[in-house]
Amino acid sequence: MDILADKFYLLSIMALPFLLAVTLHEAGHAYAANALGDSTAKSQGRLSLNPFVHIDPLGTVVIPLVAVMASLPFLIGYAKPVMIQPRYFKNMRRDMIIVALAGPFGNLIVAFFCAYVLRFSLGFGAGGQDWITNTMYYGIFMNCLFMVFNLLPIPPLDGGGIVEQLLPHEAARSYRSIAPYGFFILMGIILLAKEIILVPTLFMTDLVVNLVGVPI
């Protein structure tokens, strides 16, 4: 029973940061694409910070629940991908890179937001074991995790999309062919070489905390 209670408490401190993470990530793609001339996301109602327009039942609800209950090293999940039409961009390679970077940048914004909420909460007397303290610290960590994870140079992640735009045409096409195996590569990293993700995530978490001045 204690294990189940711990799982539910963990879910309670993860839910809000996770929802902010996937929402701002996809919204970042949508706003960047719209600013660069592609109004597809706007026409589909995705140019919004409303989490409900970005939720994917499987990726935003089922998979994260399974990840928590199975005690995976990281919480995994996703929102509905934003549709991008590169033909509307003036400089396709440059603009695709900007749009790809906008998702992880959205996560960095949320990490800083959580850090400021944590700093002010502690300043107003919140303790180290309070729900708001744990939730906001996890929000920093989770959004740094999402940023690092999505910048991995593995198709179809944002990092893979960036690498693809930097390669010559033929090399890019060969590189893109890895995408169907991307999920299995990522699961292998998560289960067998999680330090590839964890080390830079902890570095970014400490960096955000120190830049904001959160008392440690």
Give Cβ neighbours of residue 57 (< 8 Å, ≥ 6 apart): none
Position 74 scores a pLDDT of 65
Separation CA 78–CA 22 (nearest Å): 6
Residue boundaries of the structural domains of the chain: 2-212
CB atoms within 10 A of CB 41: 23
Position 1 scores a pLDDT of 47
Instruction: Provide the annotated active-site residues.
Output: 26
Position 193 scores a pLDDT of 84
Taking the model in full, what pTM does it have? Answer: 0.88
Position 156 scores a pLDDT of 86
Q: How does pLDDT run along the chain (216 residues), one tens digit per residue?
A: 477 777 778 888 888 888 999 999 999 999 999 999 999 999 999 999 998 899 898 888 888 888 777 776 667 788 899 999 999 999 999 999 999 999 999 999 999 999 999 999 998 888 878 999 999 999 999 999 999 999 999 988 999 999 999 999 889 889 988 888 888 888 888 778 889 999 999 999 999 999 999 987
